[in-house]
Amino acid sequence: MDKDFGFIRLPKGIEMRKPYASELKYFKKNANVAGMATEDNRVILNPYSNLNPDQYQSVAVNEASRIMMRQPEFKPDFELTNQQKNFLDTTTYRNATEDERRATIAARILSGDSSAGVATSEQNMFVDRLKSAFQN
């Protein structure tokens, strides 16, 4: 399957690539996984998802922000709320590191995903800093 994702806009320095055969196989089995931040620091999107362009753009922003948060200057260091911790405990992130859990919440806040819960002022300040780096 070959969808055209030419409409996706990513921050400077972050690239998108087509999924490898093994990634396509994973995506086909997991249509609920809309995209990934890959080990080679690129964004890939699931061509088997039934998302509209705006939803794919949100997923791309989410995944691009995860790549940015791999850099020491963008490492999330805020506290998670109990609501956020409880939510993450019901997902594949239940056994993730605290940094991965924070990055998940920050990426979801940035991309407008309501599953992040109510953001704290500390989280919003971090996401605003991340967002300004997107615009440079």
Tens place of pLDDT per residue across the chain (136 aa): 568 888 888 887 899 999 999 999 999 999 889 999 999 999 999 999 999 999 999 999 899 999 999 999 999 999 999 999 999 999 989 999 999 999 999 999 998 899 999 999 999 999 999 988 877 6
Helices 98-111 and 121-134: crossing angle in degrees, nearest 10, is 70
Please report the pLDDT score of residue 135 as a whole number: 74
130 and 110 in contact (C-beta within 8 Å)? yes
Tell me which residue of 75, 107, 111, 80 sits closest to 94, measured CA to CA: 80
Plot region of 117 (φ>0 → left; ψ -120 to 50 → alpha; else → beta): left
Tokens of 43: 């964004």
Please report the pLDDT score of residue 2 as a whole number: 65
Q: How far apart are CA 26 and CA 14, in angstroms?
A: 23
Please report the pLDDT score of residue 66 as a whole number: 92
Please report the pLDDT score of residue 56 as a whole number: 93
pTM here is 0.85
Tell me which residue of 73, 79, 65, 74 sits closest to 36, measured CA to CA: 65
Please report the pLDDT score of residue 77 as a whole number: 92
Tokens of 125: 């300040």
Please report the pLDDT score of residue 136 as a whole number: 60
Please report the pLDDT score of residue 1 as a whole number: 55
Amino acid 117 reads: G
Q: How far apart are CA 136 and CA 112, in angstroms?
A: 20
Please report the pLDDT score of residue 92 as a whole number: 87
Q: How far apart are CA 120 and CA 30, in angstroms?
A: 32
Please report the pLDDT score of residue 4 as a whole number: 82
